[in-house]
A and B are shown apart, each in its own frame.
Chain A
Amino acid sequence: MTTLSVPSAVASRVSPLTSLKNTATLAWRSLVSIKHNPFEIIDLSIQPLMFLLLFTYTLGGAIAGSTDKYLAFALPGILVQNTIFATMNIALLLNNDLTKGVFDRLRSLPISRWSPLAGRILADTVKQAWSVALLLGFGMILGFRVQTSFWGVLGTFGLMLVFCLCIAWVAVLVGVVASAEDKVQIFMFSFMFPLTFTSNIFAPTSSMPGWLQSWVKINPVTILADAVRAMLNGGDVATPVLQSLGWAAAILVIFAPLAVWRFKRRV
């Protein structure tokens, strides 16, 4: 009888625990690379603070009468805008992995099939949490005060991260479909700028023309900003939070299967 010499270290498939470990290792890789990539530090930290300072001190007086009042209105909106802008990182880094051959190396290893993608998304979630904390902390230095409670802050983090995890799939799709980095940037900008500016994050909806108002009111950016305002400043929480979760679910249901389908086709 012949015996096949099978290396004993190689199991025939990956256990769930190993998949999680693989994902954690690949998330670590995305985070540790930040220190060699100064642009990412700027993206993650300086850009959100810059937006906060610029909008608060240039527009605050004109829109809300005082910078303090404006901060209460704009900080939740800037949190949302920053989250959406930051998803571009996922698209860029994923695209880079695909075009530079890093994904091929990873896929030739005996690791979980989904951990490269999951690792990217997990790392992005950590980065997003950092940006939210940074903006909140810096906002407080500028005079922002949480009017609700600790639970409002926790709820803000929770809702923002759930939304991130869902909208990340749009970025995954763009990163997978685009043939090169510059195409990712063109595509993401042409989607992110109109989406975030046609909302009430910087100016109240009532100041806009009627035809625009009907879109602004249903824009997920408006709704998410309203939910965060309610959780931090007080007011009706349930409606905007449920609507935000509805939007997040809709985005997930549409974009996750599309992204997975294109991902499988590409790799």
Chain B
Amino acid sequence: MTNAIVAEGLVKHYGETKALDGVDLAVRTGSVLGVLGPNGAGKTTLVRILATLLRPDAGRAVVGGFDVVRQAHSVRGQIGLTGQYASVDESLTGVENLLMIGRLLGLSRKDAKARARELLANFSLSDAADRAAKTYSGGMRRRLDLAASLVGRPRLLYLDEPTTGLDPRARLEMWDIVRNLVADGVTVLLTTQYLEEADQLADEIVVVDHGKVIASGTPAELKSRTGAQTLAVRPVDPAELEIVAKVVADVVRTTPEIADSVVTAQVTDPAALPAVVRRLDDAEVAVAELTLRTSTLDEVFLSLTGHRTEQEGVPA
């Protein structure tokens, strides 16, 4: 078992702000690592360091056997970068964008053209190949971005929030593309704000907050620690919130949260839902809403750190 990416003690400051505060991680060759965290957690800074775009203030990282600072050029030869900040030229067509990158990577004009057409076909962009990228929809733009990072057939791919801002259908398409790449043996480091995305794609997940890794493990391990799903119960009469909270606490054996006339709790056992229904029925509590849904990142954070995610600049 070898690691395609190893990072040890990465630190990066922006003035007073510590974007990264000692991050360690390892990505096994051929696997997908999901880096999960809210806005401002340091995910993009981490990707930029691993992609040689930024030098760490301390710590080191080895990508594909090369040091990201001392052997940056060799690292660049193995990686593909797609993300919020690595983009295509909007004033060029799809084919021109890919042709440019092929030429920069040393392909002949003929080979670069063939590779461009092949990638555009793979990503359902053939019809738009000769249109300027600025006319593309959000989903098409992301697919072209991804295609651009694959021209050189990298063994390692960084996807920095590949589906942020995409509609659900485009998100599902993006997931399929990523799964196909993984099936071809590409190692993927994926950053995301969505627990579901990490759960769907990643073999292992690291959760980052304030520039630190606060939890790591397989999706199943994290779920068993944090509660994969959230149970929410809203009684018809808000006066019965206390009774509902007690019932939920008895079943899931944790202290539930009460906010906005809804009782919520993290659950790992699927039998919790029918149990709660039975007990509420016994207690003759009328319920306006009763749902079991995937935990949001906020809820995972709450159970991992005891604090909610903070929006940038706005105290929670």
Contact = CB atoms under 8 A, between A and B. Distances in A.
A10 interface: yes
A107 interface: yes
Given A104-B81, A105-B86, A109-B105, 19 more contacts: A4-B65, A5-B65, A6-B74, A7-B155, A22-B104, A25-B104, A28-B103, A29-B92, A29-B96, A36-B91, A36-B93, A36-B132, A101-B84, A105-B87, A107-B53, A108-B53, A108-B81, A110-B105, A267-B53
A207 interface: no
A10 B89 CA distance: 25
Contacts of A100: 87, 90
Contacts of A5: 65
Contacts of B125: none
A187 to B, nearest CB: 22
Interface of B: 48, 51-53, 65, 71, 73-74, 76-81, 83-93, 96, 100-101, 103-106, 132, 134, 148-149, 152, 155
A12 B126 CA distance: 35
A33 B133 CA distance: 11
Interface in A1-53: 4-7, 9-14, 18, 21-22, 25-26, 28-29, 32-33, 36-37
Nearest to B89: A102
A237 interface: no
Interface residues of A, number: 34
A102 B77 contact: no
Contacts of A108: 51-53, 76, 79-81, 86
Contact of B87 (A14, A25, A29, A104): A104
Given A102-B88, A104-B53, A104-B81, A109 B101 contact: yes
Nearest to A107: B53
Given A6-B74, A10-B78, A105-B81, A25 B103 contact: yes
Given A28-B100, A36-B132, A105-B87, A10 B92 contact: no
B53 A29 contact: no
B83 to A, nearest CB: 8
Nearest to A10: B77
Contacts of A110: 73-74, 76-77, 105
Given A29-B96, A32-B96, A12 B76 contact: no
Most chain B CB within a 10 A radius of its CB, from A6, A12, A109: A109
A247 B228 CA distance: 69
A7 B81 contact: no
A57 to B, nearest CB: 35
Nearest to B78: A7
B51 to A, nearest CB: 5
24 contacts: A7-B155, A14-B73, A21-B103, A26-B104, A28-B100, A29-B89, A29-B96, A29-B100, A32-B92, A33-B91, A36-B132, A101-B84, A101-B87, A102-B89, A105-B149, A108-B52, A108-B53, A108-B79, A109-B101, A109-B104, A109-B152, A110-B73, A110-B77, A267-B53
B117 to A, nearest CB: 17
A5 B77 CA distance: 13
B77 A9 contact: yes
A118 to B, nearest CB: 13
B74 A36 contact: no
Nearest to A13: B73
Contacts of A161: none
